[in-house]
Structure 1
Amino acid sequence: MQRPPVLPDTEIQRRLAVLPGWERQGNALRRTFTFRGFPEAVEFIRSMVGPAETLQHHPDVDLRYDRVLVSLSTHDQGGITALDFDLAARLGP
């Protein structure tokens, strides 16, 4: 699968403006999701499998009891691409 190109900074900022909760950190998009407890956090991680497999784009995930930190970057392109925004939008509001 051909990966899309890295987006320019202006386009990243424009897209972030309409994607609540997400922020840029270096060459990645990041968001922390908070849940009632561990089972809900794990279920959220399980819910990411379908969208990630559909897009063939897999997030970096850090689970901390009731929080899940998701980091998205197109590593083989060395930055943030449209694919990262597509997956971010599918992971929830």
Structure 2
Amino acid sequence: MAVLTDDQVDAALPDLDGWERADGVLRRSVKFPAFLDGIEAVKRVGEHAEAQDHHPDIDIRWRTVTFALVTHSEGGITDKDVAMAGEINRIVGQ
């Protein structure tokens, strides 16, 4: 699997609401109405990630959950990360 160029990642971003390319990863923070809403979203994302065998880095800070995607084995952002970002958006309801 090939690492995407910066131009390829930038071309994908308009279709990935809320995501940005920063420090070599795709990143999105989502603020939930309540702490447990964020925890439930993390659970749903985790179940999907496990099924896909492609796992985001997840940081939970009270009601804000930050997802970061990079294909570590390839050393950069790949199509798998772009696809997972779209799935995370679907799971958390954009």
The two structures have a TM-score, normalised by structure 1, of 0.91
The match for 1:61 is 58
The one-letter code sitting in structure 2 at the alignment partner of 1:74 is: T
Deviation at 1:26, TM superposition (A): 2.0
3-state SS of the aligned residue for 2:15? Answer: coil
Q: Among residues 27, 38, 51, which one is paired with 2:35 in the alignment?
A: 38
C-alpha distance after superposition, 1:18-73 (max 9, x if no partner): 11100001210000011011110100100112220122110101001100011000
Extract unaligned runs of 5+ from structure 1.
none
Q: Is 2:3 the partner of 1:9?
A: no
The match for 1:86 is 83
Mapped partners of 2:35, 2:26: distance in 1: 23
3-state SS of the aligned residue for 1:91? Answer: helix
Mapped partners of 1:29, 1:43: distance in 2: 22
Q: How many residues align?
A: 90
3-state SS of the aligned residue for 2:2? Answer: coil
